[in-house]
Amino acid sequence: MYLGYGAFLGFLPIYAKNVGLNDAEIAIVLGAQLVLAMVAKPITGRVSDRVGRIPVIIVGLLLCAAALPLIFRSESLTVFLLAAPLLGVGVGAVTPVTNALIADLASARRLGAAMGVFGTIWDIGEAAGPMIAGFLIGGLGYAATFDVLAAVIAVVTVGLMALVRDPKAAARDRESARPVK
């Protein structure tokens, strides 16, 4: 997700300018995405406390995967303002809930190291996103580049579903397996 998000941050202003948005409109699009991310974070964090981390992360990743191709096919302020907030909600779901998942999975003695690794992955994604997108845009154009990044997010989502067990679901399963006294 951070790869796609970094690419979004790096190339939205350039793409939006190319399709005719002015600087103020570009700022509104970026602001709309950010406002929705800020609003979503505490809500998705609470939801993940109730239903588990993995379902919320999956929904967030899928929103990001859906939003990126839509954003980079937009040609009017209205369409940008409908698509960019989807990315904001997706980012707002994945970011805090991934932190919570790491805290759930890491031992107390290794929590700092686990958070450090997560921060590094985040930074690598945000830094590599614009570089990879810049290379791909040169050969594929904007729409196909963001289709590729969305596909990467979708593949990672499938991998997450297959490989990571939600600690909250595991605790529920253990609790339901206990004999009633």
pLDDT tens for 26-61 read 999 999 999 999 999 999 999 999 999 999 999 999
For residue 169, pLDDT over 80 is answered with no
pLDDT at 89: 97
Q: Are 77 and 28 in contact (CB under 8 A)?
A: yes
Under the banding of pLDDT at 50, 70 and 90, the label for residue 171 is low
pLDDT at 110: 87
To the nearest whole number, what is the mean pLDDT of the chain?
Answer: 92
Under the banding of pLDDT at 50, 70 and 90, the label for residue 128 is very high
Q: What is the pTM of this model?
A: 0.88
pLDDT at 181: 59
Q: Token pair for residue 174? A: 């253990």
pLDDT at 164: 87
Q: Which residues contact 4 (CB under 8 A, 6 or more apart)?
A: 64, 65, 68, 129, 146, 149, 150, 152, 153
Angle at 76 between CA 73 and CA 78, to 5 degrees: 110
